[in-house]
Amino acid sequence: MKGLCCVILFFLFLGCADKTIEERQLPLLNGYWEIQKVEFPGGDSKAYKASNSLDFILLKGKKGFRKKVQPRINGTYMVSENDESFQLLKKEETYVFYYKNDLSEWQEQLVSLDSVSFSTKNEEGILYFYKRYEPISIQP
């Protein structure tokens, strides 16, 4: 029984381990992303089953931009003219997006990142969860 408790505690420790984002992972942000859900500080959340717009992110070094795009049925994208430029800088043990345009400045903390998903947290404590966009393939 004592051995079983030790094994359970070991796996709990692994599950709670710090999942620090490493610099070598940052290029994973490049590509097309769709919003999956939003979690608000009070505990409410909103799930997005489908969205007609995506975020395209392009990161080169520590600078990049985020642009809204809409996928078309022929496999192309309708691209908005506006984009949000950002710097992605390490602050303490995490990475932070610093956005600035003519009207405002804001930040989002990069909370998690892997090849198929990422999440951010804004200054109001709202969490945004994204999944990598997979184009729908319609076979004739």
What are the pLDDT digits (tens) for 69-119?
A: 999 888 889 998 889 999 999 999 999 999 998 899 999 999 999 999 999
For the domain covering 23-132, report its CATH number: 2.40.128.280
What's the Rg (C-alpha) of the chain? 18
Q: Rounded to an integer, what distance in angstroms lies between the CA atom of residue 12 and that of residue 5?
A: 10
Q: Rounded to an integer, what distance in angstroms lies between the CA atom of residue 71 and that of residue 138?
A: 13
pLDDT in tens, 39-59: 999 999 999 988 889 999 999
Is residue 130 a contact partner of residue 115, using CB atoms and an 8 Å limit?
Answer: no
Q: What is the pLDDT of residue 74?
A: 83
Domain ranges across the chain: 23-132
Average pLDDT over every residue of 3-14: 39
